[in-house]
Amino acid sequence: MSLVSAYLHPLPATELFSDALWVEAMLRFEAQLARAQADCDLIPEAAAQAIEQACACVLLDPVQMAQRARETGALAMAVVEPLQHWLRSHRPEGLAWLHWGTTTQDVVDTANALLTAQALALLQQELQGLQQQLLRLAADHAATPILGRSLLQPAQVTSFGLKCAQTAAALGRSSVQLQRLSAQALCVQLGGAVGNNAVLAEEARRVEQALAQRLGLGACGHSWHTQRDSWLRLGMEVAVCGGALAKLAKDWSLLSQYEVGELSEAARGQTSSAMPHKRNPVHCLQALAHTRSVPQLAATLLACMEQAHERALGEWQAEVVHWAQLWTQVHAAAAALRLAAEGLQVHAPRMHANVEGLHGVVFSEPLTQVLARWLSKPEAQRIVADGSQQALQQARPLPDVVVDHLVQQGHAVPAELQSQLHAAANAQLAVQVSAARCHALIDDMPRVQHPGWEEARHDTHF
């Protein structure tokens, strides 16, 4: 990561799709391909051992690899050629069988699937951690009243817990979808030069399955060189997940504004060089910065699907670059919001004060419903609308203003009606519907334990 991108990443030690990981994954493909072919009695055991040794011993310099790839247009050539040179000098019995029956895109696609499997495990780890924090907040604040905002204006009372539970549910759906789609997308690529397995022929299926088992990937039984549908569906779900994360970061940022003051991130010292009083939502900032490019990355990946014939001319090559960026950005956003959630400070008194500061006008709908039982609905709507303006101007509770208006108009206002009007404008009563919905969402939440995420937390290598 460069300086200008590293400061936006909440986990500086985590790198996805790094040069070292790419090299390791491509070498792993070549070694395990030879081993799988030997297991299927297609190449000599001595050749497989030689190729495995070459993959373990050869030293690849990413700078030199990039230079060679620029000359050939094929990244995997910069892997195969050094292996050939090593075998020629040390274990010539493996030379004829290196990279046998495969092609450069097979190497890169399978390596990319390996790296994506690791990226998926790390993303699921962050999503699971964030979801757990959101569920904790949901349970703690199921009945904490907060203004619901519509078009950024005060609308009705909801609960902060329900807002958290709704986001947790969305992330849970994405998590389940990612796991389901990954089973179809994270597969070995073994099509050969034009995707028809001309060299391996009838043995291709056996080799593919043996290789998939060794690499921990799927075996789809066909080449996906230029048919990227399953692969891109997985990528699009990552983008959808990024959208859910961006929505959460935007909401929390708006609630952290001083004028609103309903949330704040954990204190981290001075965050402004000129204004010591400021308490910036840094993790939300990081999440929003990382999700900003996600829609464009998704669109670019979709545009890369028009790959010509049996091998793309630039589209696939662009896809490889932007694929890594998409996963990296969404993972960073999830990590930033997980950290924000862990230290989030919920200012319930300020939430209550913001509701009370509107003097009951956010209860205009239930007040109208109560009044419509005693008057016609059009008249009830008119009285509440006029009363809302007066309540704000006079800083008086809207139910009292409505009662005064009814008296002035000569209406009898029985105690039952007054009681109903004040109950309709009671935030603690109004929030109970949201609290019940919050608990229902928590009970129905899809929470999935994802295989391998515990290991992924500690080990970003294969």
Q: Using CA atoms, how far apart are residues 295 and 320, in angstroms rounded to an integer?
A: 17
Q: How far is CA 342 from the centre of its chain?
A: 17
Cα separation, 448 vs 179, in Å, equals 9
Tell me if residue 272 is catalytic.
yes
Q: Please report where in the chains the tokens 């704000």 appear, as a residue.
A: 392
Q: State which H helix or E strand residue 401 sits in.
A: helix 398-408
DSSP string over 10-70:
S-TT--SS-HHHHHHHHHHHHHHHHHHHHHTTSS-HHHHHHHHHHHHH----HHHHHHHHH
Catalytic member of 206, 311, 382, 396: 311
Distances (CA, A) of 153 to 9, 148, 156, 157, 361: 32, 8, 10, 12, 12
Separation of alpha carbons 448 and 176, rounded Å = 7
Contacts of 400 (CB under 8 A, 6+ apart): none
**Per the structure block, which two tokens stand in for 176?**
């389940």
255: left (phi over 0), alpha (psi -120 to 50) or beta: alpha
Residue 130 dihedral angles phi and psi, to the nearest 5°: -65, -45
Catalytic residue among 272, 292, 373, 419: 272
What residues are annotated to the active site?
272, 311
